[in-house]
Amino acid sequence: MSEENKWKYGFFLGCVAPNRYPMIESSIRAVFDHLGAEILELEGASCCPAPGVFRAFHIPTWLVIAARNITIAEELGVDIITGCNGCYGTLRDAWIELEHEPELKKMVNEHLAKIGRQFKGSIEPKHIVQALYQDMGLDYLRGFVKHKFKDLKVAVHYGCHIIKPSDKRPWGGECEDPTFLDEIVEITGAKSIDYVDKLMCCGAGGAVRTAVKEVSADFSREKLKNMRDAGADIIVDCCPFCHLQLDLGQMEANSIYKDMIGEPYKIPVVYLTQLLGLSFGIDPNLLGLIKNHDLKGVTPFIPIESFLEKVKSQLT
């Protein structure tokens, strides 16, 4: 398959990935580069801002800051890709709302004019999953698969903002029974298993993690129980915040609810592009899968050695 630079995207980093899970950012860059897409930096991008907390406090401020981030990509003339459900939720919802409400657009542009910017609505904010599934397509991706897993059971976690609100997402209104992420995962040969309450929220967003940590840990605990009951080997997600909640949160759930859960959970949490990258034959160092330091209290918190064992035995 030829690797022309037919796709150009502005990469919106967000906050959680660069600050806490840099391997997610690294794996996204590695995979998109491998697939022949050109990644441009969005200089000066800020926090998206968060679709739960920020939007709940003051919608106009949320809109203006989101619009500002979008204008950075507009100036470069490229669509935005982001690897975070939250950033995707904010940028996309803001983009659609401003397109449909001329009064809001006017208000936003009045503020942006003060810093010499104008929101035009000329580019589309996309999730990396959207870019992979719709812009490139499964057939194109399959062409890059070098190694296939023989027996890997994956508990796929969609998260929330990538599929809802369904009328502002590109999945044809589907939010009760989506399959696109499972399909991408399965091109690697892994099996996406069904588990109870698959579409349940991880518990991080909407300030739940910040304000009532034990409630968010309860969410993770329930999800992990269902995943373990279904026999999952690993968890695959497409959002750094969900990733955090299922990784660091797994440790927290083990601790806070240790009397309830019996055997502590140790299901490795893997980001989508990390899994894809392995299957494409990309160097695992570039995917952030090899620990190259001795620091304590650094991500990932749940050891991924068991996963790497499977990788060694099944993929080489």
Partner 1 sequence: MTETDKKIEIMGNEKPRIGIYVCHCGVNIGGVVSVPDLVEYAKTLPDVTVGREYKFFCSDVGQKMIKEDIEAGLINRVVVAACSPRMHEPTFRIACKEAGLNQFLFEMANIREHSTWVHMKDTEGAYEVAKDHIRLAIAKARELAPLAVQKVKVEPTTLIIGAGITGMNSALNLSAAGYKVYLVERSATIGGHMAQLDKTFPTMDCSSCILTPKMSEISRDKNIELLTYSEVEEVTGYVGNFEVTIKKKPHYVDQEKCNGCGICVDSCPISVGNEFELGLATRKAIYVPFPQAVPSEYTIDMDSCVVCGICARESVCEPLAINYDDKPEYITVDIGTIIVATGYDEYDPSGLKQYGYGKYDNVITGLQMERLLSSFGPVIGKPVKPSDLKDPHSIAFLQCVGSRNFREGGNKYCSRVCCMYATKQARQYKEKHPEADIYIFYMDIRAFGKGYEEFYESAARDYGINYVRGRIAEVRENPLNHNIIIRSEDTLLQQPIEVEVELFVLSAAIEPRADSDSITTLLRIQKSADGFFLEAHPKLRPVDTLTEGIFIAGVSQGPKDIPDSVAQAKAAAASAIALMAKGEVEIEPFFAVIHADRCSGCGMCIENCAYGAIEYVDDRRFGTIASVNVALCKGCGACSGNCRSSAIDIIGFSSEQLHSMITKRQ
For partner 1, the binding residues (CB under 8 A) are 167, 173, 176-177, 196-197
Q: Where are the beta strands (DSSP E) in 42-150?
A: 79-82, 125-127
Question: Given the structure tokens 């240790």, which residue do they identify?
Answer: 258
Provide the minimum distance between the beta carbon of 63 and partner 1 in the complex, in angstroms, as a whole number: 25
Provide the minimum distance between the beta carbon of 175 and partner 1 in the complex, in angstroms, as a whole number: 9
Count Cβ atoms within 10 A of the Cβ of residue 292 and give its class: 0-12 exposed, 13-18 middle, 19 or more buried.
exposed
The CA–CA distances, whole Å, from 263 to 155, 169, 193, 225 equal 19, 39, 21, 11
Provide the minimum distance between the beta carbon of 177 and partner 1 in the complex, in angstroms, as a whole number: 4
Provide the minimum distance between the beta carbon of 205 and partner 1 in the complex, in angstroms, as a whole number: 19
Which candidate, 231, 272, 224, 226, places its Cα nearest to that of 250? 224
Question: What are residue 195's phi and psi, to 5 degrees?
Answer: -140, 160
Cα three-residue angle 55-250-156, rounded to 5 degrees:
75
- Closest CB to partner 1 among 93 and 247? 93
Alpha-carbon torsion angle 198, 267, 305, 281, nearest 10: 0
- Closest CB to partner 1 among 197 and 309? 197
Provide the minimum distance between the beta carbon of 176 and partner 1 in the complex, in angstroms, as a whole number: 4
- Closest CB to partner 1 among 103 and 177? 177
Q: Are 227 and 267 in contact (CB under 8 A)?
A: yes
- Closest CB to partner 1 among 224 and 289? 224
- Closest CB to partner 1 among 198 and 243? 198
